[in-house]
Structure 1
Amino acid sequence: MKSLSLVAIILALAGSQAAKLVEPPSDIPSPLNAIDNIIVDVLESCKLRMVEGWPQYGIPPLAPFEIQHKNFNFGTGELHATGALDSLVVQGLNEFEIRTMSVNLILSRIKFELHFASLNLTTQYEADVEAGYHMARGGGAFLALEDLNMSGQIKYSTGVVGSNNNLRIKGIELNIVAGNVVSNIENLSKYRILNRKLNEIVAEFISLTINENTDFVADWVDSTVTPICNDLIGDRSLKDILDLIGGGSE
Structure 2
Amino acid sequence: MRSSFLILCVLLCCSLGSSTLFDDDLRELTEFLRLQMQCGYPERGIPILAPAQRAFKAIDISTDSFRCEGNFTDLSVVGLDGFEFYKLKWSNIKHNIQFDMTFPRIQLNSSNYKLNILSHLLGSDVSMWGDGVFDLELINLRANGSFVIRPSTLTQGTHIKSWKVDWQLGKSNSKITGIMGKNLMVSKIFNQFIDEFFELLINDNPNEISQFMEQLIVSPMNSVLENVAWYEISAIILGLVKGILPVEPIC
TM-score over 0.5 for the pair: yes
After TM superposition, give the deviation of residue 102 of structure 1 in Å. 1.7
After superposition, residues 156-235 of structure 1 pair within 5 angstroms as 156-157=149-150, 164=155, 167-188=158-179, 192-220=184-212, 229-234=221-226
After TM superposition, give the deviation of residue 41 of structure 1 in Å. 0.7
After superposition, residues 80-159 of structure 1 pair within 5 angstroms as 84-125=71-112, 127=114, 138-157=131-150
Q: How many residues are treated as equivalent by the alignment?
A: 214
Distance 1:109 1:96 in 2: 20
**Aligned position for 2:16:** none
After TM superposition, give the deviation of residue 40 of structure 1 in Å. 0.8
After TM superposition, give the deviation of residue 38 of structure 1 in Å. 0.5
After superposition, residues 33-72 of structure 1 pair within 5 angstroms as 35-72=22-59
Distance 1:50 1:130 in 2: 30
Residues 201-238 of structure 1: per-residue CA shift (max 9 Å, x gap): 22222223222221123345567855664553336435
Gaps of 5+ in 2: 1-6, 12-18, 119-128, 237-242
Q: Which moved more, 1:60-69 or 1:190-199?
A: 190-199
Distance 1:48 1:73 in 2: 30
Q: Which moved more, 1:88-97 or 1:237-246?
A: 237-246
Q: Which moved more, 1:63-72 or 1:230-239?
A: 230-239
Distance 1:219 1:129 in 2: 18
**Aligned position for 1:4:** none
Amino acid at match of 1:122: N
Distance 1:38 1:139, change over 3 A: same
Q: Give the secondary structure class of the aligned counterpart of 1:94.
A: helix
Residues 9-32 of structure 1: per-residue CA shift (max 9 Å, x gap): xxxxxxxx99x78xxxxxxxxx95
Distance 1:66 1:247, change over 3 A: farther
Query: Are 1:67 and 1:87, in contact at CA under 8 Å, matched by a contact in 2?
Result: yes
Query: Are 1:69 and 1:85, in contact at CA under 8 Å, matched by a contact in 2?
Result: yes
After TM superposition, give the deviation of residue 140 of structure 1 in Å. 2.6
After TM superposition, give the deviation of residue 67 of structure 1 in Å. 1.0
Q: Give the secondary structure class of the aligned counterpart of 1:198.
A: helix
Distance 1:104 1:75 in 2: 32
Distance 1:117 1:156, change over 3 A: same
Distance 1:75 1:158 in 2: 27
Distance 1:213 1:50 in 2: 30
Q: Give the secondary structure class of the aligned counterpart of 1:59.
A: coil
After TM superposition, give the deviation of residue 42 of structure 1 in Å. 0.2
Gaps of 5+ in 1: 1-16, 22-30
After superposition, residues 16-31 of structure 1 pair within 5 angstroms as none
**Aligned position for 2:4:** none
Distance 1:129 1:227 in 2: 22
Give me the TM-score of the superposition, normalised by structure 1. 0.67
Query: Are 1:46 and 1:245, in contact at CA under 8 Å, matched by a contact in 2?
Result: no
Q: Give the secondary structure class of the aligned counterpart of 1:40.
A: helix
Distance 1:244 1:95, change over 3 A: farther
Q: Which moved more, 1:52-61 or 1:98-107?
A: 98-107
Residues 139-194 of structure 1: per-residue CA shift (max 9 Å, x gap): 432101111100101234469xxx73765544121111111011101244655443
After TM superposition, give the deviation of residue 98 of structure 1 in Å. 0.9
